[in-house]
Amino acid sequence: MIFISAKPFKPLPQKNASAIARTFDMLCLRPVKHYTPADIRALRERENVSQPVFALYLNVSKKALQKWERGEAQPDSAAMKLLSLVEHNGLTILG
């Protein structure tokens, strides 16, 4: 059941509206976890793709992905976000 108020809508002052919008935006963002080498490899294997194919989806070199999986390097924040998207939505989200 939908109720519509007969009272006119009183907009919030711009300062408060901006603060509320920013808070709402922050609440909508899914936090990005830190991916360990084992997490990255498990994610790639779950998607059933090779290292070169997974690297292409993430727009990184095959060598970079290999280093991530061996623990010799860590993905940057943008790559962590892509890994998070793949974890929650599968590779189709990037393709």
Query: How far apart are the C-alpha atoms of 33 and 39, rounded to whole Å?
Result: 10
Largest CA distance in the chain: 64
pLDDT in tens, 33-82: 899 999 999 999 999 999 999 999 999 999 999 999 999 999 999 999 99
pLDDT in tens, 5-17: 555 555 555 566 6
Q: Is the pTM of this model over 0.75?
A: no
pLDDT band at 1 (very low <50, low <70, confident <90, very high): very low
Question: 27 is written with which tokens?
Answer: 């609440």
Burial class (CB in 10 A: 0-12, 13-18, 19+), 40: buried
pLDDT of residue 11: 56
